[in-house]
Amino acid sequence: MNLGNLRESYTQASLNKKQVNIDPLDQFSEWFKDARNAKLKEPNAMNLSTVDAEGQPSVRTVLLKSIADDGFVFYTNYKSRKSVNISLNSKVALHFLWLPLERQVSIQGTAEKISQEDSLSYFLSRPRGSQLGAWVSDQSREISSKELLVEKMNALLDKFGDGEIPIPEFWGGFKVKPNKIEFWQGGEDRLHDRIEYFQGLEGNWKIRRLCP
């Protein structure tokens, strides 16, 4: 299959250092608002890359659930593959792709668990089915059939009835604290705009333009 002629031309907008906010999280929030206003499906979907004990990278899509003053928060099973990888190597990467806006955001940083209180607060805000789903799935473990998941779900429905569903001790949030964030705006003739924020020695944010 030859895909050499499969390409798009990007002409919607441009990006320069004078346009962007001093703080990259403020800039991200501005772009995220644009993605929501454009009614993109799940604009908070992001690729999360981790590395295992053998140095093998893996990537999967998770959902951004909040933007803190110092990072990006998502939730997962603490026994999942991604969580095990993070426990071994906290360096991770995030990536957002908003093609209808001809934009990408790439993030490098370190992941750490958030507080139990914050995890519980979010867990209680989830739909009941999602709360049960956190209990049902031994995430990333092999299973012989989906029917076993359905059986476990039905058993939990009987167990909890109409009562409150407690948060599993193996479930909670991670915050990715960035040290580098790149904003990419597609440009005509592949002259894309790439504005990168990186942390200086003093921990303050600096901004530079990268070649496309």
Whether residue 48 contacts residue 59, with contact meaning beta carbons closer than 8 Å, is answered with yes
Q: 119 exposed, middle or buried (CB, 10 Å; 0-12, 13-18, 19+)? A: buried
- Nearest Cα residue to 186 out of 3, 1, 13: 13
Q: Which single residue is written with the structure tokens 């139990």?
A: 116
| 60 among known catalytic residues | no
- CA 132 → CA 81, 105, 121, 123, distances in Å? 20, 32, 16, 10
Among 190, 194, 208, 209, the active-site one is 190
- Nearest Cα residue to 57 out of 78, 85, 83: 85
What DSSP character marks residue 190?
G
- Nearest Cα residue to 112 out of 60, 70, 53, 146: 70
Indicate which residues carry an active-site annotation. 190
